[in-house]
Structure formats: structure tokens, C-alpha cells
Structure 1
């Protein structure tokens, strides 16, 4: 696969990776976190981005978790984008997995430090091929799911987001200029859990419209 461009969007090269935490109330509660009053935003490194294949867990990570999400790719540059115009800035949608070193994240949270080191390890942001935004009738009603070794673990729908995609784009573009190829991981529903060596993760967007398959490998 040509990783110089986003799969399914050959005119776009991957840019910044923005992520939204606690965007589903049930997920916030399952981790004993408060339900936020405004979007919780963090980033992943460019080296965390990968596609179908292996996700590699370093030996020092003791509690890796999966978090399945809808991913939006930005189509054109924008700053201070009004929410009413935000969806016009999306090139396409994918399903992705925000792999998280939960043990490291817990330690960072206890110290009131950013989550970057728990989120940004190499291969910790696998993403499927993208489907054109024109093929998604309603971005506020995108279904997605995750199976681990054939067992359904997560089921979500963007209709349940605390902060919908147009508001996320408006909020982000208030602070930073969004550019073509920037990715937004829009948050995960409840059902996150631990990963184990050899796990096969199969994620779907819109009941199989787009799929992502990865295998979990642990470093010795």
C-alpha cells in the first residue's frame, strides 16, 4: 500500500492526527472519568499511523487497550470554520483504533501530565481505507463496530457523540489551522478492553462498507 497518501483518498497525504477523548458518555463513565463539558483534545504522532497489518506493542507497555473510532479526513485548509460549514471540509471517513497504553495513561493522569506518551507509540493509530464523504448520507449517523477474535466488543454510532463532528471541526479550527490530510479520531464508545498477543481485530464502518483488520504483536 502506498503510505504517501491516505488509502482511498489518493490526493491527500496524512497530516496532523487530532483525537477526541471522552466523546461518548458511557465510555467516560466506564473509566470513571467525568463527562466533559467541552471536547477533550489530544494528539498522536505521525509514526503512530498505520493501516491493515500488525500493531506492535512495546515490552514496557503492560496494559494496552483498543478504542474503536470514526476517523474524519480534512479536505481543505480552514481556520475559524463555522459549524454550519464544517462538513464541507471533510474528504472522507474511515474506521480507526486508538491503541492506548492504559497503564502509562493512568500514571500520566495521576500526575496531571498530557496523554501523548500513552497514545503515540509506533503503530498505535491503525486506520482503514477512507470512503468519500459523498458516500455518507448522514455524518451524524455513522455506525461502527469492533470484533476481537470474532467476538463483538464495541458497537457505536456517531449519533451518540457528546460533541458531533461539525462542532469538533469548528472547535479545533478556532485554535489551529486545519489542513488537507489532517485526521480527526472522533472518540470511542463503551466496551474498551485489553489487548493480547495474536489478537485479531476486525473493525467495520457502516456494516462493512469499510473494514480494518490488524493483528496484535508484542515485542519480546
Structure 2
């Protein structure tokens, strides 16, 4: 599927992100496993297509970590009792890029995460794929390659809060409408980006977006 023909930045309304939705990822960062979904948002200006392009990021504010995630798109407005298979019409793989040192300082002060999570270029997004339904979503693995090496490997079956729970939680509290997207959380294996490296996202072993990293100092 071509990202150029299917990707429309302007069609995305709100970006909801879920923190610590995979148990091993929460533990690898020394965080408590949440008892309810941990939701934060990013500005749509953070979006950038994962279409093989070079993405330039700040390398002067500490480590920039990659976090590969399944991204779900609402094809209609949420309403109580609406099944996830009826709500979502597409999925993609995306990266929740994080200024980890900045985030650690913000956490210590109890400040919002915007500076660490919402900077320009922090939400690379691959091409939309048809939503396979909840059964299909857990029937395939997703992974991130750094060059040719697997850095992350996950499956939606390992989510602490599955998509139907996320939809109800977000929809009932903040609103979830057609064109909104949810970054559903990342599995273990996150690490700092290196200048010049290429990242490739795979869905069921097939390429689902890539980019080249440039860290400016």
C-alpha cells in the first residue's frame, strides 16, 4: 500500500497515546504497571509520514528513544456500547518518539510531558492498512528493525488494556470521533536512536513504514 496515496495528515483530528500498556515495557523503565489506561496527547503537528524519508530530530536535549506502536483510526464517532470492530476502520504502525532525559526531569517535577512527547517529528506514522478486527490484530506480530536487527517485537494480545477498553475509556472521558487516532502503547525493547540509522516497521513480517534518522546538535 502506498503511503503517498493513502496518508493524509489533515484527516487526523486528535492523537491519543497510551503509556505503559505492555507490562514488560513498564518494568524495563522502572515504572509501576497502571491499573487504568494512562492517556496523553500529542499535537497533530508532531506527525510525519514513515515513507522512507529522513527525519531530523534534536540531538542536543539528551537521548531520543523509539517506541513502536500499533495505531488505530476511528472510522466513526464513538458511542456507548459500540464494538471496537465497528469503531476502527484502519490501523498502522507508528513511532512514539520520546526525549527520555527531558521526560525524566518532567516526571521528577510533576510537570506535563508535552516537551518530551509532543515535539515536531515525534509521531512518525506508517501507511494505513485495513483494520483486521480484534481477532486479526492479535493474530500477527509487529516489530521494529534497526538496520537489519530486531529491536522490538510485540503482539496486541499482550496489551494490558485492549483496544475496546481504550476506546471506551477515551470516548467516555475525552471524546473519540471519526479521524481520531490512538497510539496503543509499546512493547519492551525501547532504546536511544543513533544518528544516521534506518528504522523499519514490520507488520506480520511485511514492511509497514520506514525512515532515516538525523540527529542535529
Cα 1:109–1:44, aligned 2, differ >3 Å: closer, same or farther?
A: same
Cα 1:150–1:65, aligned 2, differ >3 Å: closer, same or farther?
A: same
Q: Given the alignment of the two structures, is residue 26 of structure 1 paired with residue 24 of structure 2, yes or no?
A: yes
Structure 1 runs (4+) greater than 4 angstroms displaced: 134-137
The gaps in structure 2 that reach 5 residues or longer are: none
The gaps in structure 1 that reach 5 residues or longer are: none
Aligned to 1:189: 187
Aligned to 1:64: 64
Aligned to 2:125: 127
Aligned to 1:218: 215
Trace 1:139-218 onto structure 2 (pairs within 5 A): 139-208=137-206, 210-218=207-215
CA distance in 2, matches of 1:177, 1:40: 15
Aligned to 2:103: 105
Q: How many matched pairs?
A: 213
Instruction: Tell me the alpha carbon deviations over residues 94-150 of structure 1, each in whole angstroms, 9 at most, x when there is no partner.
Output: 111111000110011111112111011111111110111157752344420001121
CA distance in 1, matches of 2:26, 2:18: 12
Question: What RMSD in Å do the two structures reach over aligned CA positions?
Answer: 2.1
Trace 1:72-91 onto structure 2 (pairs within 5 A): 72-79=72-79, 81-82=80-81, 85-91=83-89
* Preserved CA contact (<8 Å) 2:85 2:133: no
